[in-house]
A and B are shown apart, each in its own frame.
Chain A
Amino acid sequence: MLLRAAWRRAAVAVTAAPGPKPAAPTRGLRLRVGDHAPQSAVPADTTVAPEAGPVLRPLYMDVQATTPLDPRVLDAMLPYLINYYGNPHSRTHAYGWESEAAMERARQQVASLIGADPREIIFTSGATESNNIAIKGVARFYRSRKKHLITTQTEHKCVLDSCRSLEAEGFQVTYLPVQKSGIIDLKELEAAIQPDTSLVSVMTVNNEIGVKQPIAEIGQICSSRKVYFHTDAAQAVGKIPLDVNDMKIDLMSISGHKIYGPKGCVIWVYTLWNARALMGSHSPVPFFRFGIGRFTTEEEVDYTVEKCIQHVKRLREMSPLWEMVQDGIDLKSIKWTQH
């Protein structure tokens, strides 16, 4: 009886408090340490006590995986989901014309973002599909004369899977290693290009470690050696300046949901290309990492960092390895027994 009265009082207090109060961010903010953090780090708060007020959700720090939809994007899309629902390819009536006009406007916006021509933009279902089209398409188109591709070891899984499936078809793929900085060695790239190389695929910005590859230089090398250059620019578009002509990029994959757009719609840029689409597989890589975006606040970052330090310290205290380190033992000298 007593408990229920206290609960009702608490519930009333929550509803009475005005929602928006940017000055008190730490109250009620919960931590989500990466999306795939080790299970012991922070207990997953899937069981939240039912509250009468606004539902408290964890802080979102996985922006490189996907971004929330910007309200302006939703506002721009809604008319076409509600009233203007025509198929853009219906050329014979107004519903089709207005949808087509909207699509062409979108195409123009994307083109101006990356310095391309609107006719070079193709809409696909995702960066995965775009990467598959680019890599498998180019490789198979030149199958008769060129059998070699170059990519890096830090590419996204769909790129690596495409290359692997091409290897099974008889192509030869060079996976360039990255230096300690995460950036490829341009000299190694130049050395790897053979007379029968058809495509080089290097992502612009890495989704795990955030390094920016020297795209303009790579584009220069590729164009001088007459090799096509594909880049997975999913993490780079809208964040760093990109120009497909200046950087001599032949094919570029862009992901809508990494730039505050919806999932299930992506853009693929091609110049002078016509390739078949083939789906590949994609699964997330578990990794302890943070990503922030335009909707992240300083308070969220500070709170997350504090929580992270607190929990790492707590876990570290439980670890015998930490005791050894504190005693001055070099971890590399430990002989591990097999279990």
Chain B
Amino acid sequence: MAASSRAQVLDLYRAMLRESKRFSSYNYRTYAVRRIRDAFRENKNVKDPVEIQTLVNKAKRDLEVIRRQCPLSNGIK
């Protein structure tokens, strides 16, 4: 399986940031944005394709979490 390309990783990064900004809770929103930026920055020099794919898979799972939790936590008053 071909490892994710740079473009795919950047798309994922943008998608995660976009979804995170929809949290209406100030604390969740700022934490999510900060954590995503820190995590991608921390791993930007990873070269091993297997490791890259593992990280990308984890990020995709976390993106799903954000997509599920955003409407849920926003909907509770």
Q: Which A residues are within 8 Å of any B CB, using their own CB?
A: 19-20, 22, 25, 29, 54-55, 60, 68, 71-72, 74-75, 294-297
Contact = CB atoms under 8 A, between A and B. Distances in A.
A67 to B, nearest CB: 10
A297 B73 contact: no
Contact of A71 (B21, B26, B30, B66): B66
Interface of B: 21-24, 26-35, 62, 65-66, 68-69, 72-73, 77
B28 A71 contact: yes
Contact of B68 (A54, A55, A75, A295): A75
B62 to A, nearest CB: 7
A20 B27 contact: no
A72 B62 contact: yes
Nearest to B22: A20
B69 A71 contact: yes
Nearest to A68: B27
Contact of A54 (B24, B27, B30, B72): B24
A297 B23 CA distance: 15
Contact of B27 (A19, A74, A295): A295
Nearest to A71: B69
A296 B31 CA distance: 8
A55 B77 contact: yes
Contact of A297 (B30, B65, B72): B30
Contacts of A72: 62, 65, 69
B32 to A, nearest CB: 8
14 contacts: A20-B21, A20-B22, A20-B24, A22-B30, A60-B27, A68-B28, A71-B66, A72-B65, A72-B69, A74-B72, A74-B73, A75-B65, A75-B69, A294-B31
Contacts of A19: 24
A29 B27 CA distance: 12
Contact of A20 (B23, B62, B69, B73): B23
A71 B22 CA distance: 13
B74 to A, nearest CB: 9
Contacts of B72: 74
B38 to A, nearest CB: 11
Pairs of residues from A and B, 9 with the lowest C-beta to C-beta distance, nearest first: A295-B27, A71-B69, A75-B65, A20-B21, A295-B31, A297-B30, A54-B24, A19-B24, A22-B30
Contacts of B65: 71-72, 75
Nearest to A74: B69
Given A20-B21, A22-B33, A71 B73 contact: yes
Contacts of B24: 19-20, 54
Contacts of A295: 27-28, 30-31
